[in-house]
Amino acid sequence: MESLQGYALAAGTALLAGGINALAGGGTLLTFPALLAVMGPTEANMTSTLALFPGSLAGSWGFRKEIYQGRNWLLRLLPASVLGGIIGSLLLAWGSPEHFALLIPWLILTASVLFIIQPWVARGQGEEEKNPSWKVLAIASLCQFLVAVYGGYFGAGIGILMLATLGQWGVGSLHRVNGMKNLLAAIINGISAVIFGLSGYVRWDYVLAMGVAAVIGGYIAGQLGPKIPRKWLRAFVICAGVTQTLYYFSKQLGWLE
């Protein structure tokens, strides 16, 4: 694919992903496969993470009040998030691109399933637990560490994973869980951005083009959001995820040459 076509595809997908992330989440399911058309899998994953990082950071700003209210839990889970993000990012940076390529259909499948079950995960958030036992803290930290490792390695779906786990430990209301999820995801992505940026795999020309497009997409979505049924956006992302899963499994099995 010619360079100009590659930029156009990446920027157009990032524009759409930025809007979808602002309204429903799941933008990585669009940007990562689009980048696979113009670069290798490791480069695509790292470039996608860096391009969408500013949006994930901005997404936490709207929940700053809820995040402040849950600051005690944030501080408790921060070490696990940082350590897991570092390990996951290093696994990708130091790992074999061929091994990562074998995982692509499974990673997209996992992210798609997580996105499908998102409405059920968001239900039933518990009351705030201000003084959790050491057992609860240990389990919560372990779960957050595992989520962060996955997030540092691939990233798509970590918000939904945290939505499912944080609500079980007594963090508080759904709004507080959502705010903490956004900030912790931004921290994990920020760690990945630093490590990936030093790895030599990142395509900075695509990061710039996609980053600008994603910000514009997020802004447009913020203006048009109330007019767009969320179920339509979810249906679009789910269809894209399922289609890509089938495509990459078929390609891996040799059904598509």
The tens digit of pLDDT for each residue in 38-57 reads: 898 889 999 998 998 887 77
Q: Is residue 173 part of a domain?
A: yes
| Cα–Cα distance for residue pair 11/35, rounded to 1 Å | 10
Average pLDDT over residues 77-84: 96
For residue 230, the SS3 value is: helix
Q: Read off the pLDDT band of 125 (50, 70, 90).
A: low
Average pLDDT over residues 173-182: 76
Task: Dig out the tokens for 164 from the structure.
Answer: 């499912």
Q: Is residue 220 part of a domain?
A: yes
* 199 Cβ neighbours under 8 A, 6+ residues apart: 46, 93
Q: What is the pTM of this model?
A: 0.79
pLDDT value at position 35?
92
Residue 124 predicted with pLDDT over 70: no
pLDDT value at position 86?
97
| Cα–Cα distance for residue pair 50/55, rounded to 1 Å | 10
Residue 79 predicted with pLDDT over 90: yes
Q: Read off the pLDDT band of 10 (50, 70, 90).
A: very high
Q: Are 92 and 152 in contact, with CB atoms under 8 Å apart?
A: yes
Q: Read off the pLDDT band of 66 (50, 70, 90).
A: confident
Q: Read off the pLDDT band of 85 (50, 70, 90).
A: very high
Q: Is residue 257 part of a domain?
A: no
CB atoms inside a 10 Å sphere around CB 91: 15
Q: Read off the pLDDT band of 128 (50, 70, 90).
A: low
Q: Read off the pLDDT band of 133 (50, 70, 90).
A: confident
Q: 98 is in which domain, residue-wise? A: 3-252
pLDDT value at position 87?
97
Q: Is residue 58 part of a domain?
A: yes
Residue 201 predicted with pLDDT over 80: yes
Average pLDDT over residues 193-210: 90
Average pLDDT over residues 138-144: 91
Q: Is the dihedral of CA 29, 35, 41, 42 positive or negative?
A: negative
| Cα–Cα distance for residue pair 212/128, rounded to 1 Å | 38
DSSP state letter for 203: -
Least confident of 23-27, 48-52, 217-221, 248-252: 23-27
Number of independent structural domains in the chain: 1
Task: Dig out the tokens for 150 from the structure.
Answer: 């996955």
Residue 227 predicted with pLDDT over 90: no
pLDDT value at position 30?
86
Q: Which amino acid type is present at position 208?
A: L
